[in-house]
Each structure stands twice: as structure tokens, then as C-alpha cells.
Amino acid sequence: MSAAAPRLEFWFEFASTYSYLSALRIEAMAAERGVGVVWRPFLLGPIFASQGWDTSPFAIYPAKGRYMWRDMERLTAARGLPFKGPTRFPQHSLRAARVALAALDTPQGPAFCKAIYSLGFGEGVDISEPDVIAQALKTADLPTKLVEAGDDPMIKERLKAQTARAVDLGLFGAPSFTVGAELFWGDDRLEMALEHAMEGAE
């Protein structure tokens, strides 16, 4: 092992169903392997827009969408996770993503992100509502006034910059994992991404 501890960046979008799967398992898996995780909320909206899509591909392509819901049902059942599709899909994730950036400046950040996912896809609640975001902050032992980060110009700029960096790294979907410049896409690649982080640190 070199002096550098293995590290992986976890790129997620609160509107992304498959990101829910990774958010709920990444900490235990990374800890087992001694890999540090940096949580990176970003927005898929601007990336999809640059591809000519005005919403999620699961909403645009019905066969792909129908499959995704069934696939999520099977995967959450196999992992013992609650799952309830939200009334509105895709969820409006902008405010939650901004608050996550602020929350991630504290050690409770990952707990907040997991709470948002559990509300959005475990219970099917509308995560754009400030009250719902406040509930997730409470779950994570964070002050509910952090909801105001959703209106903070500095945080807005940081989220834009983080999304721009995601594009520079070649991201086109979520969840994604990066280890340096190496990109892994999808919850199915989490194991491989962690292996890669471990090898790079040897």
C-alpha cells in the first residue's frame, strides 16, 4: 500500500432510482474494503438537456421505463429495501441536491442523502417539498435551517460547478463512480469500481 488511502467518488442524483440502490449500500461495501467514499451530488437535467432530452429517458422511452420499474422492484426485494415509485417521476431534485451539498460539509451528509432516498423511493414522497427535506435533515441530526441552502447563491454555484465537473469526467447517467479519471456507470459497477480503487492504492 502506498501512503494514499484508496478513494472513490460517488456521483448521484436524487431523482435517479438506481442511485437509491447504491446510496443504501456503498458505505458498508467501501468500509469492508478500506475505500473512502466522497459523496458528489450532481444534476442530470442539464446533461440530459445537452443530449436533447427534456426529461428522464425512462419517461421518454416507455419500454425502457416499464422495465426499470420492474427491475427496481426485483432488486429492492432481493436486497430487503422498501420501494415505492413516487407520484411524480422524475422527482424534482434541485433543492435536495443543494441542501445535500451543504449537508456534506458535515459528517452527517451521507445520512441526509440516504434519508432523502428513503423518503423519495422507499416511501414515494415528493422530495422537492421543504418540509420533506427538513424531515431528512432531522433524521440525519442536522439543523432544519439547512433547508435554506436551497436558496443560497454560493451553494447554487457550487452545484453548477460540480455538475460541470461531472460532464468533464464523461458522466452521462447516475449513479456513477470515478477513481481518478476512470469512470464506472450504474449500481451494477459498484463492486468493480471499488476493486479498481483498491488496486490503484496498492
- Site for its own copies, rule CB under 8 A: 51, 61, 63-64, 66-67, 70-71, 74, 78, 167, 170-173, 183-186, 188-189, 192
- Residue closer to its own copies by CB (options 31, 77) is 77
Q: How many CA atoms lie within 13 A of 202 on its CB side?
A: 7
**Closest approach of its own copies to the CB of residue 156, in Å:** 24
What order do you get walking across the sheet with 182-185 strand by strand?
A: 36-41, 7-12, 176-179, 182-185
**Of 72 and 137, CB closest to its own copies:** 72
Q: Which three cell numbers stand for residue 150?
A: 436551497
CB of 70 vs its own copies, minimal distance in Å: 7
| Shortest distance (Å) from residue 5 CB to its own copies | 23
Angle between helices 153-168 and 94-103 (to 10 degrees): 100
Q: Which is nearer to its own copies, 70 or 138 (CB)?
A: 70
Residue number, 112 or 184, with CB nearest to its own copies? 184
User: CA–CA separation, 86 vs 148, rounded Å?
Assistant: 24
In whole angstroms, the minimum distance from the beta carbon of 151 to its own copies comes to: 31
CB contact at 8 A, 114 and 12: no
Instruction: Name the CA dihedral angle for 23, 28, 31, 37, rounded to a multiple of 10 degrees.
Output: 0
